[in-house]
Amino acid sequence: MLKRTLIGLLRSHEQTGEKAKDPLLKTRYYKLSKDELWDEVTAVLKKTPGYKLLHEVKNVGEIVAERRTMMGRTQDITLTLFSINPLKSAVDIYSASRGSLGDLGSNYRTVLDIYKQLDRKLAPYKINN
């Protein structure tokens, strides 16, 4: 956590992906069609306090939300959903803070929070890589 805070002094964004060095930031896979995953992800974001859905582009697989941090800064969060095959889909997240200063690791915590919510709700469908 300290390392994340130190990185956050300089950096004001975080993203997940296939090649992420941090295992907690690796792409999440689920045994659901992209449409089913879309419905679950939007439902989780709508029910989670602090997150506000701004934009949904289903055909592209992009959900844009924002969140206010305890320090009053706004984070722009983009979730990208993609279909691997008809019965398997994945989610990646990009979170960035508005403003020029680092985020002290808050985008990292936001990404982990969203993944935790999704993993809890979609536990029966999660594919461990």
CATH number of 39's domain? 3.30.310.220
Band (pLDDT 50/70/90 cuts) for residue 120 is very high
Using N-to-C axis directions, what is the helix angle for 106-121 and 2-10, rounded to 10°?
Answer: 120
- Supply angle C-alpha 30, 94, 75, rounded to 5: 125
- pLDDT reported for residue 90: 98
Residue 64 has pLDDT above 60, yes or no: yes
Q: What sections of 54-100 are H helices per DSSP?
A: none
**Mean predicted confidence (pLDDT) in 36-45:** 97
Residue 23 has pLDDT above 70, yes or no: yes
**Mean pLDDT over the full length of the chain:** 90
**Chain centre distance of CA 100:** 21
Query: What is the bridge-based pairing of β-strands 126-127 and 88-97?
Result: unpaired
Residue 10 has pLDDT above 70, yes or no: no
Domain of 89? Answer: 2-127
Band (pLDDT 50/70/90 cuts) for residue 72 is confident
Residue 83 has pLDDT above 60, yes or no: yes
Band (pLDDT 50/70/90 cuts) for residue 2 is low
Domain count, the chain: 1
